[in-house]
Amino acid sequence: MNVAIIYFSPTGSTARIAKEVHDTLKETAVDVEEHDITSYSDRQKIIDLKNYNAIVFGFPIYYWRAPRVIRNWLKSINGEGKKCATFFTYGGVNIGAAHYNMKTILNQQDFFLVASAEFICSHTYNLAGWDIFKNRPNHEDYEIAREFALKILQKFTTNAPEVEITNPDIKEEQLDTMETAMKRATSAPFRDVEHCSMCRTCETSCPVHAMNAEKGKPNRKLCIRCLRCLANCPDKVITIDDMSARFQYIKKITHLNDEKLRTLKSKIYL
Ligand SMILES: Cc1cc2nc3c(=O)[nH]c(=O)nc-3n(C[C@H](O)[C@H](O)[C@H](O)COP(=O)(O)O)c2cc1C
């Protein structure tokens, strides 16, 4: 059996879960190929899905769904009835409508979704003053990733039905409005020009070609606030406005308390 793992991972957590799934599948003598579509150029390349019996997709959650750039990219591929599984990584705040929205997109693109999963990972905005799940994924999350790999393999190789995902009853238009408002309220990263060695890593690694190394800031409209530039900068001169006040606000409106955070677990849907 040949499996492709296709993932988008600006700050590396989704890639870590993808690797765990990859290694587990490989141990069972499955041929696995990873396709990292984080970079702009890698998303322009055609992945020939005919080479694979099944596909695993892995994406972070941005504003309760897979990132818009990924939802758009998915519309350029066709599954021709192929089996697939998805997994998401998220910062433990809210996964919202992600599973249902993804199943809808994948079905439209003629994929047959047999399983989905969600993994708690360090929130990207820990790089901007948040304080949530800084040490995730942990050994328990990786254990669930291994279990996920074995379960999807079973589903890929048998006559398994599609996974049933409950409709969260949130309209796409509501999510779009929320996404636009949240993105607008998040400042874009910028650079301390004085100490920059001008290596341009921020510009070359930006997943959406938004960053301009000369100016030391991205095009605000194109920037998806993924903080890859900040995470990857070897000189550590990219920064972002402190977002800790926003974290306290999000905690309040989502009723995130210590008890809730302690009991939250990564999950598999079959
Ligand atoms: C723009 C943006 C929006 C996010 N929205 C959410 C969200 O709605 N809920 C949540 O729990 N985490 C959210 N996160 C956190 C990421 O989903 C999480 O940190 C993820 O594991 C990052 O994956 P990566 O390291 O592979 O880039 C968001 C992160 C970013 C950058």
Q: Give, in order, the Cα–Cα distances in Å from 219 to each of 142, 169, 186.
A: 36, 34, 13
Q: Is the CB of 67 under 6 A from ligand 1?
A: no
DSSP 54: E
Give the residue extent of every domain in the chain: 2-169+263-269, 172-254
Q: Which fold has domain 2-169+263-269?
A: Rossmann fold (3.40.50)
CATH topology of domain 172-254: Alpha-Beta Plaits (3.30.70)
Is 10 near ligand 1, meaning CB less than 6 Å away? yes
The reply to whether 172-254 shares the fold of 2-169+263-269 is no
Structure tokens at 183: 């993105």
Instruction: Provide the pairing of β-strand 54-60 with 2-7.
Output: parallel
Judge whether 11 and 227 are in contact, CB under 8 Å: yes
Reported in sequence order, the residue ranges of 49-95 that DSSP labels E, i.e. its strands, are 54-60, 83-90
From first to last of its 270 residues, the chain has per-residue pLDDT tens of: 999 999 999 999 999 999 999 999 999 989 999 999 999 999 999 999 999 999 999 999 999 999 999 999 999 999 999 999 999 999 999 998 999 999 999 999 999 999 999 999 999 999 999 999 999 999 999 999 999 999 999 999 999 999 999 999 899 999 999 999 999 999 999 998 788 999 999 999 999 999 999 999 999 999 999 999 999 999 999 999 999 999 999 999 988 988 888 899 999 999
Helix (H, G, I), strand (E, B) or coil at 52: coil
Q: Is the CB of 92 under 6 A from ligand 1?
A: yes
H or E element at residue 156: helix 139-156
Quick one: angle between helices 139-156 and 13-27, nearest 10? 50
Contact between 100 and 251 (Cβ < 8 Å): no
231, 208 contact by CB (below 8 A): no
Pocket test for ligand 1, best of 11, 86, 90, 206 (most atoms within 8 A of CB): 90
